[in-house]
Structure 1
Amino acid sequence: MDATVRNLGHLSPAVARLASSPHLLDGFLKVSGLFEATTLDPLAREVLILTVATRNACHICVAMHTAKLTGMDADARLIAALRDSRSLDDERLEAIRVFTLAVLETSGAVDDATLQDFFARGYTAQNALEVVLGIGAYTLSTLANRLVQAPLDDRLKPYAWHPQVA
């Protein structure tokens, strides 16, 4: 938790709730740190994270990563499309969004055409496995945050998100 406070400047209520299982919190921090060190660029990583967060309907994860993308000066249309689970204008970023969803939907058994389409957008076999790492890290986070009903702190309220009702 000390590292989180140093990194964020405060202890978020979500992290405090996850800390009721030090093993879970430690595991998430380690695996998310590994994901941050992958060869995927920061914007591609955030596309993956928001794709998992919206799919798993984690309101706090969507808010946190909306704030992160905003801080990265990401295009507002990109952020809105991710929050709405819509296609992205950028073909390379759309490829990682679609590939992430395919890995989730098939439990990793993506067909060759899907994999080749991912590669055609400049991604590599290493990147494909890094997507699996990111999915693992942020599935852990989204499920845990939903389980503990992590609340938004004041800093995240401007980025509040509610799942679309189908």
Structure 2
Amino acid sequence: MTTFNVPTREEVSENNQAIFDNLKKALGFVPNLYATIAYSKNGLERFLAYQNAKTSLSNKEKEAVNLIVSQVNECIYCQSAHLVLGKMNGFSEDQLLDIRNGKSSDIKLNALVKLAADITANRGRASEDNVADFFAQGYTKENLVDLTLQISDKTAMNYLHNLTKIPVDFPLAPAL
């Protein structure tokens, strides 16, 4: 199997070097998975624009989706990263554990988490019951589109890590 090393700033394009500098200023470091995207001359800029685009989902809802999608796709890197980001967005340890297990005590968030897991596991062929519950909890068609886009964002990252197996540079998510 091809081994992937995390590229350093000096090993990436000039455009990606500038993005590395911005990430370092904003986050204090360049996450290994973002650095790996920089193997592509245009990939990192393209992905960050997609990831940071406006959405109808709150940051907390996005983190719940990111975490359950990463759990379903068995991506330890993204599970680990989104446990940290989930805490930063106000989730408790118990709430994060529930989300990883595909549920939430918050009825509306539960509908979102269940549908996100179903869409991910079944490649877009979610059960009518989960879709109906999502809408019954007040979500809209706009939210459904944004949920699907959020799932695609996270699935791309999950797949990239599952393919490259680059080192996790966040506190490791405990096994369930």
Unaligned runs of 5+ in 1: none
TM-score by length of 1: 0.84
Unaligned runs of 5+ in 2: 1-18
Conserved 8 A contact 2:115-2:130:
yes
TM-score by length of 2: 0.79
Q: Which amino acid aligns with 2:46?
A: G
* Aligned match of 2:49: 30
Conserved 8 A contact 1:50-1:82:
yes
Conserved 8 A contact 1:96-1:118:
yes
Are 1:46 and 2:81 an aligned pair? Answer: no
* Aligned match of 1:145: 161
What does the per-residue CA deviation read over 1:79-126, in whole Å, with 9 as the maximum and x for residues that have no partner?
12223x242211111111111122224433435433221111111010
Conserved 8 A contact 2:115-2:131:
yes
Secondary structure of the corresponding residue to residue 25 of structure 2: helix
* Aligned match of 2:30: 11
User: Separation in 2 of the partners of 1:163 and 1:147?
Assistant: 20
Secondary structure of the corresponding residue to residue 52 of structure 2: helix
Root-mean-square deviation (CA, aligned residues, Å) is: 1.9
Higher-Rg member (1/2): 2
* Aligned match of 2:72: 55
* Aligned match of 2:93: 76
Conserved 8 A contact 1:50-1:62:
yes
Secondary structure of the corresponding residue to residue 22 of structure 1: coil
User: Separation in 1 of the partners of 2:41 and 2:163?
Assistant: 15
Distance 1:15 1:79, change over 3 A: same
User: Separation in 1 of the partners of 2:82 and 2:99?
Assistant: 10
Conserved 8 A contact 2:103-2:110:
yes
Conserved 8 A contact 1:48-1:135:
yes
Secondary structure of the corresponding residue to residue 42 of structure 2: helix
Conserved 8 A contact 1:28-1:141:
no
TM-aligned CA deviation for residue 137 of structure 1: 0.6
User: Separation in 1 of the partners of 2:98 and 2:80?
Assistant: 14
Q: Which amino acid aligns with 1:140?
A: A
User: Separation in 1 of the partners of 2:125 and 2:58?
Assistant: 24
Conserved 8 A contact 2:72-2:121:
no
